């Protein structure tokens, strides 16, 4: 990444998305492969007045090494206390959290023993559950963004010839780095997402129906549900972007009310394995039947993670005006692929999509039919062949997305 590009990108992330300024402590998580950009981000954060940048390099290769080589299965349930303590302290101390994603090895978990993988992943999620809950209710400003790697780019591009230039030619418009003032462009885009969310919040459709090839799914919604999109506001009043890029408006379904069949339109990474052609059939909010063309076994493991893993925690609408969709690429990275198309997530619900939800405890959330789970994985279900309709209390229908395009 050249310095000009790093500068523009770090500005949208640190200033635009995370509003880093005086006295902030930034927690930066990254694979070691992103060392150069991580260093640039740290330098920029200090220039912006940050008090401290705490960098955690995380190398997921150690997870694979552990899954393959541990001599006793039950060791996989162990996560050191100090790992939970680290995550919890970030929330308690009001740090800002930035996760740089983009795997050094996108196929790291291919061929791993799926039971061992699920066991280790579940334990790791358990250890982070305080943090995940804090993130999902925006207690601190947080952001997840992508940094490309050679192996990941090769997967997107089909080869690694001249990968850096080719991948950035795709990423620059998606990140709006080609605009004169990218930070302003994101603010403008935020306003569009907010208008779309407001439309849905003014109607409060109890049903959102997706129809398309292999899909006729009605996601049930409760009247206290809110659609959000773009920027969020943390408990200290900071307006921040959880994701860059972001093209979705999203809400939390009634976990008991979704019904019908849905076919995924993009591959999804589940427990580190690529699942293609997944499909689900829902009854009373729960997946009662599922399948996939690849790694169906991993998908089954996922659905069995806990009680909430087979119910919805999110429904999100994305139009084909998304630059990510328009790029015509599959990014094999959820941060991008979820912003290419409408999606549903199996797993934990967003409490900030429920009126007063961020103040509710687990029992209250259950009463409000907000799904709770250790996991949350997006499954993409949109394309230009998919329509989305809002169904009102009286059964009347309002087109929201037609042939993939927003019509509201």
Cβ distance to a copy of itself smaller for residue 43 or 178: 43
The residue within the footprint of a copy of itself, chosen from 13, 20, 90, 270 (CB under 8 A), is 90
Coil, helix or strand for 192?
helix
Going from the C-alpha of 192 to that of each of 12, 132, 247, 389, the distances in angstroms are 18, 28, 10, 20
Tokens 């250890």 -> residue: 127
Instruction: Kindly write out the interface string for residues 46-85 of this chain, putting x where it contacts a copy of itself by CB under 8 A and - elsewhere.
Output: xx-x-xxxxx-x-x-xx--xx-xxxxx--x--x-xxxx-x
Closest CA to 376 of 269, 295, 289, 217: 269
Task: State the number of binding residues for a copy of itself (CB under 8 A).
Answer: 38
* β-sheet bridge partners, residue 403: none
CB atoms inside a 10 Å sphere around CB 75: 12
Cβ distance to a copy of itself smaller for residue 46 or 199: 46
**Residue 164 beta carbon to a copy of itself: minimum distance, rounded to whole angstroms:** 20
**Residue 305 beta carbon to a copy of itself: minimum distance, rounded to whole angstroms:** 21
Closest CA to 332 of 168, 106, 59, 114: 106
In this structure, what token pair is assigned to residue 338? 């979820």
Cβ distance to a copy of itself smaller for residue 45 or 175: 45
**Residue 107 beta carbon to a copy of itself: minimum distance, rounded to whole angstroms:** 16
Asked whether 252 and 225 are in contact (CB, 8 A), the reply is yes
Cβ distance to a copy of itself smaller for residue 56 or 402: 56
The stretch near a copy of itself (CB under 8 A) out of 9-17, 37-45, 219-227, 354-362 is: 37-45
**Residue 60 beta carbon to a copy of itself: minimum distance, rounded to whole angstroms:** 11
Contacts of the segment 67-74: beta carbons below 8 A, 24+ positions apart: 67/112, 67/113, 67/116, 67/117, 67/120, 68/112, 68/113, 70/116, 73/116, 73/119
Cβ distance to a copy of itself smaller for residue 57 or 393: 57
Instruction: Kindly write out the interface string for residues 127-156 of this chain, putting x where it contacts a copy of itself by CB under 8 A and - elsewhere.
Output: ------------------------------
**Residue 131 beta carbon to a copy of itself: minimum distance, rounded to whole angstroms:** 12
Instruction: Kindly write out the interface string for residues 17-36 of this chain, putting x where it contacts a copy of itself by CB under 8 A and - elsewhere.
Output: -----x--x------x--x-
Asked whether 26 and 52 are in contact (CB, 8 A), the reply is yes
Buried b or exposed e, range 271-293, using 16+ CB within 10 angstroms: bbbbbebbbbebeebbbeebebe
Asked whether 241 and 97 are in contact (CB, 8 A), the reply is no
**Residue 7 beta carbon to a copy of itself: minimum distance, rounded to whole angstroms:** 14
Cβ neighbours of residue 386 under 8 Å, at least 6 residues apart? 210, 211, 212, 215, 265, 341, 342, 401, 404
**Residue 227 beta carbon to a copy of itself: minimum distance, rounded to whole angstroms:** 35
Cβ distance to a copy of itself smaller for residue 21 or 277: 21
The residue within the footprint of a copy of itself, chosen from 43, 73, 181, 293 (CB under 8 A), is 43
The residue within the footprint of a copy of itself, chosen from 39, 300, 329, 366 (CB under 8 A), is 39
**Residue 3 beta carbon to a copy of itself: minimum distance, rounded to whole angstroms:** 15
Cβ distance to a copy of itself smaller for residue 48 or 303: 48
**Residue 373 beta carbon to a copy of itself: minimum distance, rounded to whole angstroms:** 25
Closest CA to 227 of 254, 258, 248: 248
Instruction: Kindly write out the interface string for residues 92-121 of this chain, putting x where it contacts a copy of itself by CB under 8 A and - elsewhere.
Output: -x----------------------------
Q: Is beta strand 52-57 parallel, antiparallel or unpaired with respect to 25-30?
A: parallel
Cβ distance to a copy of itself smaller for residue 139 or 176: 139
Cβ neighbours of residue 393 under 8 Å, at least 6 residues apart? 206
Cβ distance to a copy of itself smaller for residue 81 or 363: 81
Q: Which residues bind a copy of itself (CB under 8 A)?
A: 22, 25, 32, 35, 38-39, 42-43, 46-47, 49, 51-55, 57, 59, 61-62, 65-66, 68-72, 75, 78, 80-83, 85-86, 89-90, 93
């Amino acid at each position: 990444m050249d310095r000009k590009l790093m500068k523009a990108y770090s500005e949208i992330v640190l200033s635009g998305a995370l509003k880093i300024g005086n006295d902030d402590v930034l927690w930066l998580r990254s694979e070691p492969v992103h060392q150069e950009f991580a260093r640039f981000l740290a330098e920029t954060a200090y220039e912006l007045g940050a008090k401290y940048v705490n960098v955690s390099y995380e190398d997921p290769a150690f997870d694979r090494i552990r899954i393959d080589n541990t001599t006793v299965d039950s060791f996989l349930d162990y996560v050191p206390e100090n790992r939970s303590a680290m995550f919890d302290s970030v929330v308690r101390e009001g740090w800002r959290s930035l996760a740089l994603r983009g795997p050094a090895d996108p196929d790291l978990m291919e061929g791993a023993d799926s039971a061992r993988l699920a066991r280790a992943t579940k334990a790791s999620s358990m250890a982070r559950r305080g943090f995940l809950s804090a993130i999902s209710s925006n207690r601190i400003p947080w952001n997840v963004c992508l940094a490309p790697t050679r192996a990941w780019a090769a997967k997107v591009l089909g080869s690694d010839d001249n990968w850096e230039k080719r991948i950035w030619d795709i990423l620059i418009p998606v990140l709006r780095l080609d605009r004169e003032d990218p930070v302003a462009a994101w603010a403008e885009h935020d306003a569009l997402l907010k208008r779309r969310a407001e439309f849905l919040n003014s109607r409060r459709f109890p049903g959102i129906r997706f129809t398309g090839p292999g899909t006729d799914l009605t996601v049930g919604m409760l009247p206290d549900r809110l659609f959000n999109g773009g920027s969020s506001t943390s408990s200290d009043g900071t307006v921040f972007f959880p994701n860059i890029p972001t093209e979705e408006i999203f809400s939390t379904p009634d976990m008991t009310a979704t019904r019908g069949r849905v076919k995924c339109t993009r591959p999804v990474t589940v427990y580190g394995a690529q699942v293609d052609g997944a499909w689900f059939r829902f009854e009373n909010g729960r997946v009662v039947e599922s399948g996939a063309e690849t790694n169906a076994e991993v998908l089954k493991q996922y659905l069995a993670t806990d009680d909430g893993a087979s119910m919805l925690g999110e429904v999100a609408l994305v139009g084909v005006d998304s630059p990510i969709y328009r790029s015509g690429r599959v990014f094999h990275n959820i941060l991008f692929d979820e912003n290419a198309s409408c999606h549903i997530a199996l797993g934990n619900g967003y409490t900030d999509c429920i009126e007063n939800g961020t103040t509710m405890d687990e029992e209250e959330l259950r009463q409000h039919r907000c799904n709770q789970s250790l996991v949350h994985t997006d499954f993409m279900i949109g394309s230009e062949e998919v329509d989305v309709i809002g169904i009102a209390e009286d059964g009347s229908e309002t087109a929201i997305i037609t042939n993939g395009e927003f019509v509201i």
